[in-house]
Amino acid sequence: MTRGIFVTGTDTEIGKTFVTAGIAGALKARGVDVGVAKPMMSGAKREDPNSDAALLKQLSGDQNVLDVINPFQFDEAVSPYIAAKRQGVRITLEELVRSFEAVRGTHDFYLVEGAGGLMAPMGEGYHNGHIAREINFPLIIIARPGLGTVNHTLLTIDKARSMGLAISGVIINGVRAGERSIPERTNPQLIEGFSGVPVLGEVPWLADVTPEKLIRSIEEHVDLDRLLLQETAQ
């Protein structure tokens, strides 16, 4: 049975793809047969080397072609749901899930990345949380480091639990170098204390990102052993 994680966030533009790709690369380096999926994407062509799908494929080494890794792609830089509507395209939840189920068995472990936050609409009547529930992988929640992230993270956790979704942990991404603010120092403890969900790592902000730097950063700052243990314990 294929194991895996569904990666979501407390918001958009918080580095979900960088963290997901870095985890994929780090797991690959450990000898894990890892696959990646970005079911819906907008704002870039999947063939663009800088697209989310291309970065996930590059770091994971997934041999599936890009339109399998990312079956639904829209050029317009708006949410995938709105982009699809503006093109007169309707993608059902069942259709999206079938696209993943068709390739689920090609790898032992899968990282599936949503688009935007947990409640971001992906189609008529469904959002990322519904996709995660159908795929039935536990969540990793990517959060910002600064003021306000405790509220956003706890709300995401509460909503996920109300939907019956298992949560493997939280990863805080984009910690800047230098003296850290009081919120940045205390947020991990507050998140864990109020939710009972472990913070599995605090990933620093990276300039001039390369695959090697990204993988090394994940290896140094994310507790991958605990992540895998949390996933198997669900």
Active-site residues, by number, are: 38
134 sits in which H/E element? helix 128-135
Tokens linked to 158: 């509460």
Residue with tokens 């994971």: 60
Per-residue burial over 23-42, b if 16 or more Cβ lie within 10 Å, else e, is bbbbbbbeebebbbbbbbbb
Bridge-based pairing of strands 40-42 and 72-74 is parallel
Instruction: Tell me, rounded to whole angstroms, the distance of Cα 113 from its chain centroid.
Output: 4
The amino acid sitting at 148 is G
The amino acid sitting at 29 is A
Give the residue from 70, 60, 62, 68 showing the smallest Cα distance to 23.
60
Residue with tokens 């994940």: 218
